[in-house]
Amino acid sequence: MSIYDSIRSQLVPITPEGYPFIGAFALASLILFWLWSPLGWLGTLATIWCAYFFRDPPRVTPVREGLVVAPADGRISQVTSAVPPTDLDLGSTPLPRISIFMSVFDCHVNRSPAAGKVEKIVYHAGKFLNADLDKASVDNERNCLVIATAGTRIAVVQIAGLVARRIVCFVRSGQAVGAGERFGMIRFGSRLDVYLPEGTPPLVAVGQTSIAGETVLADLRASDAGRAFRSG
């Protein structure tokens, strides 16, 4: 292995979505250095933050069938029951909903919460309210996915926030996805909601930190004979 390969293997990967932004920040830093060096150093710090924001570290996803994993890094901001968006065709009965708030310091690459098939993708233009507010799930710009998995359906909703101005989705309707597989990202600071099947008990609590593709949110097969799972 060459020195270059050795150094590269130690660095956290950057999602391709981030390279144009990192390049723009770096170019702005060079211009600022030319104008006044203290501004250039501030631009350099901003460039480092931009590279940090677009990091895409590898994750080890639990492979047990029926597990629902976190689609995002961040803080569990809500564990409640709510009626899912009507255009997802998940009925009018309140379903268990887990909300994850991503700050501008969290990794923003989103991962599929379960293995299955993307049945539907619905995008809505909207406002850019604080993503931590409950009404953000209805009023804000959002992108909704319904995934058929383990004989049932779950939904994951990407919600833009105060700073976020762009929701990116990498998958399409009808596509098969694996648990923990990258399906999109949101720039810069936002929230994801996961709607679970009726009666599914969440395995996380408000205030807990989640890791995309690794933290187990629920077990869809918890009622199976001999099935047991303990979080933490």
DSSP-derived secondary structure letter, 20: H
Separation between Cα atoms, residue 176 and residue 4, nearest integer Å: 36
Q: Which of 161, 57, 142 is nearest to 104 (CA)?
A: 161
Question: What are residue 145's DSSP bridge partners?
Answer: 121, 156
pLDDT at residue number 85 = 85
Greater confidence (188 vs 147) lies with: 147
Q: Distance of alpha carbon 208 from its chain centroid, rounded?
A: 15
- What pLDDT shows up at residue 16? 82
Residue 6 has a pLDDT of 46
pLDDT band with cut points at 50, 70 and 90 for residue 142: confident
* 189: pLDDT strictly greater than 80: no
Burial class (CB in 10 A: 0-12, 13-18, 19+), 113: buried
Instruction: Tell me the pLDDT of the chain averaged across its residues.
Output: 84
Rounded Cα distance between 154 and 145, Å, is 8
Q: What is the pTM for the complete model shown? A: 0.85
67-219 has which fold? Glucose Permease (Domain IIA) (2.70.70)
Highest mean pLDDT among 31-40, 96-105, 216-225: 96-105
Given this model, what pLDDT does residue 156 score?
Answer: 95
Torsion of CA 80, 84, 90, 91, to 10 degrees: 90
- Which of 1-10, 48-57, 133-142, 186-195 shows the lowest mean pLDDT across its residues? 1-10
Distance CA 3, CA 9 (A): 10
Q: Which residues pair with 87 in a beta bridge?
A: none
Query: pLDDT tier at 4 (50, 70, 90 boundaries)?
Result: very low
Mean predicted confidence (pLDDT) in 143-168: 85
pLDDT of residue 213: 95
Domains of the chain by residue range: 3-53, 67-219
pLDDT in tens, 71-96: 999 999 999 999 998 888 899 999 99
The three-state secondary structure class of 187 is strand
- Torsion angle defined by CA atoms of residues 51, 53, 58 and 64, in that order, rounded to the nearest 10 degrees: -170
The residue among 148 and 137 whose pLDDT is bigger is: 148
Q: How far apart are alpha carbons 21 and 54 in whole angstroms? A: 9
Residues annotated as catalytic (active site), given as ranges:
190
Look at residue 7 and tell me whether its pLDDT is greater than 90: no
Confidence (pLDDT) at 8? 46
For tokens 């060096």, name the residue: 37
- For residue 205, what pLDDT band results from cuts at 50, 70 and 90? very high
State both tokens at 6. 């050795």
Q: How far apart are CA 15 and CA 107, in angstroms?
A: 10
Structure tokens at 11: 């660095």
What pLDDT does 82 receive? 93
Residue 210: per-residue pLDDT: 96
55-64, 68-77, 114-123, range with the lowest pLDDT = 55-64
Say how many residues make up the chain. Answer: 232
